[in-house]
């Protein structure tokens, strides 16, 4: 039965074995040094620490120049109001909003999931740390993405339901207009 198998001469067999051995070595090296092919479950702090150890990091600007100008102006506005308010930069909604604790659990989970990763450019807080006025800077490139309007709608609705005023700074607004609107909204909060 095995008499009918073709005979492989020694040089050809060595070439095939060398090729297969080389391929196996390349595969092993890639497997050892390439890292995981798909992202790992990042809920585990040990995996998070390992991931941070395996990659470099560099600082990036928290805000662009236009946002920085608005921050300085907001700082001036709240200082003129007597130090009752503070300006926070880039907080995510999950830090200052939470779903109604009386809502059904599934609604709370969904509401938190829908808002937690969204950010506002600035949040003015009162002396107790509660959000009073969310400020969004709508630059010229703000609506370039296909879902930007929907993401903003999510933020607007969550802020509205929480009773936190929203101020949207659009291109072309003057510093005087910005100051008048922010001051008016903060004074309305005081009067409430």
**What is the model's pTM?**
0.75
pLDDT band at 65 (very low <50, low <70, confident <90, very high): very high
- Say if residue 170's pLDDT is above 80: yes
The string of pLDDT tens digits covering residues 77-127 is 999 999 899 999 999 999 999 999 999 999 999 999 999 989 999 999 999
Cα-Cα-Cα-Cα dihedral sign, residues 36, 42, 47, 52:
positive
Residue scoring higher pLDDT (148 or 12): 148
Are 70 and 121 contacting, i.e. CB atoms less than 8 angstroms apart? yes
* pLDDT top residue among 27 and 119: 119
Lowest mean pLDDT across 78-92, 135-149, 158-172: 135-149
**C-beta separation of 115 from 57 below 8 A:** no
In sequence order, what DSSP letters do the residues of 113-172 get, joined into one string? HHHTT-B-SEEEE-TTS-EEEEEEE--TTTT-STTHHHHHHHHHHHHHHHT-EEEEEPTT
pLDDT > 90 in the chain, percent: 67
């Amino acid at each position: 039965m095995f008499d009918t198998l073709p005979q492989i001469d020694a040089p050809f067999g060595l070439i095939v074995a060398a090729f297969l051995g080389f391929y196996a070595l390349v595969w092993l090296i890639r497997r050892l040094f390439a890292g995981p092919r798909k992202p790992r479950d990042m809920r585990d702090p040990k995996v998070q620490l390992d991931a941070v150890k395996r990659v470099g990091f560099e600082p990036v600007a928290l805000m662009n120049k236009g946002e920085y100008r608005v921050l300085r102006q907001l700082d001036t506005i709240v200082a003129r109001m007597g130090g009752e308010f503070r300006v926070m930069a880039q907080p995510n909604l999950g830090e200052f909003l939470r779903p109604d604790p009386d809502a059904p659990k599934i609604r709370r989970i969904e509401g938190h999931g829908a808002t937690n990763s969204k950010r506002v450019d600035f949040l003015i807080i009162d002396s107790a740390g509660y959000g009073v006025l969310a400020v969004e800077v709508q630059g010229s490139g703000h609506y370039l993405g296909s879902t930007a309007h929907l993401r903003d709608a999510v933020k607007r609705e969550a802020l509205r339901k929480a009773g936190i005023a929203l101020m949207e700074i659009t291109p072309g607004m003057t510093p005087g207009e910005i100051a008048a609107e922010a001051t008016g909204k903060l004074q309305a909060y005081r009067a409430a």
